[in-house]
Amino acid sequence: MLKTVLQSLGLTAVIVENGREAVEAWDTGSFDLILNKLYAALDALERPDDAEPQALIA
């Protein structure tokens, strides 16, 4: 649903499954805004199997 709302505003959204993927996407991409749970990026190093989706907006 969030992706649909962002796209309706003319934004491109990249959705990832966990904190580790969010850090990897951020490292390799160019984003104007990152929507993320505060602890998810920190947990990426500790809990690579975190299944909570994250949203990155390019």
* pLDDT band per the 50, 70, 90 thresholds, residue 8: very high
Q: What is the CA radius of gyration of the chain?
A: 11
User: pTM here?
Assistant: 0.52
Q: What is the pLDDT of residue 17?
A: 83
User: Which of 36 and 32 is assigned the larger pLDDT?
Assistant: 32
Tell the burial category of 22 from Cβ atoms under 10 Å away from its Cβ (0-12, 13-18, 19+).
Answer: buried
Q: What is the pLDDT of residue 29?
A: 81
- 3-state SS, the chain, equals CHHHHHHHCCCCEEEECCHHHHHHHHHHCCCCEEECCHHHHHHCCCCCCCCCCEEEEC
CB 43 within 8 A of CB 50: yes
